[in-house]
Amino acid sequence: MSNTQMAWWETAVIYQIYPRSYQDSNNDGIGDLPGITSRLDYIAKLGVDAIWISPFFKSPQKDFGYDVSDYRDIHHEYGSLDDFDELLSKAHDLNLKVMIDIVPAHCSDQHAWFVESRQSRDNPKADWFHWVDPQPDGTPPNNWLSFFGGPAWTWEPQRQQYYLHNFLSCQPNLNHANPAVQDAYKDVARFWFDRGVDGFRLDAVHTINADSEPYKNNQPNPDFEPGPYPQQQQPFFRQLHDSAQLNQPPIQIFSESFRSVADEYGDRYLMGELHGDDPIAASQTFTAPGRLHATYNFNLLRWEGLTVEEIKEAIGKAVSAFNGTGRLSFAFSNHDVPRSVSRQMSALGLGTDKQDALQLLLLKLETCLIGSTCIYQGEELALEDVKDIPVQLMQDPWGIEFAPVFPGRDTCRTPMVWRGDASNGGFSKANSTWLPIDQRHLQRAALDEAERPTSVYNEFADFLSWRKQQPAMMQANTMSELSGDDQVIVFDRISDQQTLRCTFDFNSLTATFEEL
């Protein structure tokens, strides 16, 4: 095996920040960009390579930033472009790369593009979105459904047509079959690359729609079995979606277009979030030459958690498709699913006395795999998922839609806490915060834990420091097949200089490493 010089992103540990919940600097109860800047030292000392900041663009906040009304401006609650430039400068001074979260499939219905498009059938932006006539009986053009419940089509009286939205009705899908839409996103990319951004996490790229005709019906899913959670029982999951509603082949026109801009700027990174009927196959398509650098999917993010054998199976499938490359990013947690340690304690039947050991084991496991890793804020503290947010305090539109039987995504989005003895845990001096503080988190406040030598934060920081000294992990993206019994995961990381056997024992909740 010969090793070649790898790009920074091929082995990166990426720390995801949900800006609304990280640190409030102006005491309005909402996190902001200056707040993030004030905590960059904490992130850098952990030893990660990059930060990924969820959307902070101008937005009506119906889906908390994933409904963008201006891709080139900052939402007023989060600060200003000057605040972002200051954040970027300090991060780079700390040797942290900065990735931001672009939403290419849809925008807000308050974006100027859609405001113009909905006015008539003959304005300059008339075909920037998916406008379709009703069927003869007045019903929507096909059987597509929204992720958040109900049809994926909404009637627009001004145009006397339906428009497509894979999520909320206020999040219309752009028509990526239109070259002008592609050019608009290339301009957005250049705007942020010119400011010095190191890469983009591209939200839900599998939901980009570029097939304009025909709008084929989704087929029934013959393998559908209702899951234990209400969102897994909704009609959306009774359908197969790939090549009809989702993962349409023409999406790759966007991938290639966006990649062409990234290549103009050198070592910039494009990582796409995707899902689908076959996520591994979709990932291979999205990362073909000239497209996205890498993708990550939800194979390790299952809402109810995974058994050890299921973790092994998910990793094994991914590695078999991507071994020898950095074209995949692994994650056990993000802003859309319950926190990893809570999911996995439940799936593995463990009590809270095992919480720290389990979280540290999961962190070590994912950062030993090929490619990059995404760590969600609070994983380094073993923060548990929040329970029992009152319906009247819920913010997530998905959760509100299915309340009270489904808690939505607020449970993993509550504010970070920094000092256990401070008001609101040091997140904010406001009388109230946008989501309630979890009182259990005060026992794991970030700065308190950073000062405690045996905390998950410090043990993980020590591990990341050790990892950076291992040629098998930093100089090649090659690993063996997985082995081990039903409670143990074993694999070798391999480079010309080193073969390192990695063993993760879910009985003892320990990881061991041996040079062969």
Q: List, by residue number, the catalytic residues.
A: 203, 264
Give the three-class secondary structure for 20.
helix
Orientation of helix 355-367 relative to helix 456-467, angle to 10°: 20
What is the DSSP secondary structure assignment for residue 23, as one 8-state letter? -
SS (H, E, C) 93-160: HCCCEEEEEECCCECCCCCHHHHHHCCCCCCCCCCCECEECCCCCCCCCCCCECCCCCECEEEECCCC
Residues 51, 30: Cα–Cα separation, whole Å = 19
Residues 6+ apart with CB under 8 A from 371: 10, 11, 294, 322, 325, 326, 327, 328, 329, 330, 477
Residues 434, 418: Cα–Cα separation, whole Å = 16
Residues 6+ apart with CB under 8 A from 466: none
Residues 6+ apart with CB under 8 A from 84: 33, 56, 74, 195
Residues 6+ apart with CB under 8 A from 105: 166, 173, 174, 203, 204, 205, 207, 208, 209
Which secondary structure element, helix H or strand E, spans residue 488, and what is its range?
strand 488-494
Residues 192, 195: Cα–Cα separation, whole Å = 5
CB-neighbour burial class of residue 219 (10 A; exposed 0-12, middle 13-18, buried 19+): middle
Residue 92 to residues 31, 44, 122, 262, 515, Cα–Cα distance (Å): 21, 10, 46, 19, 34
Residues 242, 245: Cα–Cα separation, whole Å = 6
> What backbone torsions phi and psi does residue 515 show, to the nearest 5 degrees?
-80, 130
Give the three-class secondary structure for 419.
coil
Residues 6+ apart with CB under 8 A from 93: none
Dihedral sign, Cα of residue 120, residue 126, residue 128, residue 132? positive
What is the DSSP secondary structure assignment for residue 92, as one 8-state letter? H
Residues in the chain: 516
DSSP per-residue letters across 223-237: T----SSGGGTSGGG
* Per-residue buried b or exposed e for 419-453, using 16+ beta carbons within 10 Å of the residue's own CB: ebebebbbbbeeeebbbbbbeebbebbbbbbbeee
Tokens encoding 434: 């946008």
Neighbours of 178 (CB within 10 A): 17
